[in-house]
Amino acid sequence: MHGHGTDHHPRIPHASRLERARVLLVGAGGLGCPASLTLAQAGVGHLTLADPDRVDVTNLPRQLWHRTEDVGRNKAESAVAGLARAFPDLGTEALTERVDASNAEGLFRAHDAVIDATDGVATKFFLSDVAVLTGVPLVYGGVLRMQGQAMRVDPGGPCLRCLYEAPPPADAVPTCAQAGVLGSLAGLVGAVQALLALELLSGAARAGRGEATLHVLDAVSLLGRRTRVTRAPDCEGCRVTAIPEYPESPEACAT
């Protein structure tokens, strides 16, 4: 793995822009771990990881920063420790609290991009609303069974509600225990999320205003497809003017 010295990543365009970039990862599990690895390897200067949960032994097969001795430790702290071992010059911060209505706006505005690495469907809509309000780009991602998705929510572009309108009923999406999560697919989706953020941070993004690309990854066929997403007329999510309420009810797993 590469460190963050002065001679790193000479072939990456606009490497100095990446060194100055600050990225917030909401979630330090199946998506957040691989996304943070990819961002660090690319030379992003600062990563903030936020997660109130603790490492469980069942997390270890697919959440690469956590080790056996980290079981019971806060996930954000464990992941930041792993990043520090691999990238000693990387700027990091661990937030052991959830990103909710009390702190979301400030956290978004303190970063150049946000990675949605959460496992709650309603939380993903909440983060999309905050991205629209603050104008800070958000990279949505989710994994369920053998399919994964990723899409960047850019200022002026379609939000998650343009794609799905509203979260499904609580009993419509199975839990991780019910549906299962393929660890390698979560790793792939997390890496794709990081690449979508890097495309933006490096200045390489060329998406047309008012549209975005949904990347769908199928682990059965090992094929991916892209779907063009446009802003939905009269989308409530695109007209957010205040921080929405944080979903308090138990949520199904999407990663």
β-pairing, 138-144 vs 113-116, is parallel
Quick check: 208 pLDDT over 70? no
Domain presence at residue 244: no
Find the domain containing 79 and state its range.
Answer: 15-239
Domain presence at residue 89: yes
Q: Are 215 and 226 in contact (CB under 8 A)?
A: yes
Quick check: 177 pLDDT over 90? no
Region of 27 on the Ramachandran plot (φ > 0 left; ψ -120 to 50 alpha; else beta) = left
Domain presence at residue 101: yes
Residue 251: both structure tokens together: 């949520």
Average the pLDDT over 213-220 and give the result: 93
Q: Are 136 and 111 in contact (CB under 8 A)?
A: yes
Domain presence at residue 10: no
Residues with catalytic annotation? Answer: 176
Average the pLDDT over 202-219 and give the result: 86
pLDDT per position as a tens digit, 89-130:
999 999 999 999 999 999 999 999 999 999 888 999 999 999
Q: Are 187 and 34 in contact (CB under 8 A)?
A: yes
Domain presence at residue 228: yes
Quick check: 195 pLDDT over 70? yes
Q: Are 28 and 95 in contact (CB under 8 A)?
A: no
pLDDT recorded at residue 248 = 66
Domain presence at residue 255: no
Residues in the chain: 255
Quote the number of domains for the chain.
Answer: 1
Q: Are 185 and 238 in contact (CB under 8 A)?
A: no
Residue 123: both structure tokens together: 């939380």
Domain presence at residue 8: no
CATH number at residue 207: 3.40.50.720
Quick check: 173 pLDDT over 70? no
Domain presence at residue 253: no
- Residue 159's φ and ψ, nearest 5 degrees, are -100, 180
| 209 or 211, greater pLDDT | 211
Band the pLDDT of 171: cuts 50, 70, 90: low
pLDDT per position as a tens digit, 17-39:
899 999 999 999 999 999 999 99
What single DSSP character describes residue 145? Answer: B
Q: Pick the most confident of 157-171, 172-186, 219-233.
A: 219-233
- The beta strand positions in the chain, using DSSP E, are 22-26, 46-50, 91-95, 113-116, 138-144, 147-153, 211-218, 223-230
- Write down the pTM of the prediction: 0.89
pLDDT recorded at residue 113 = 98
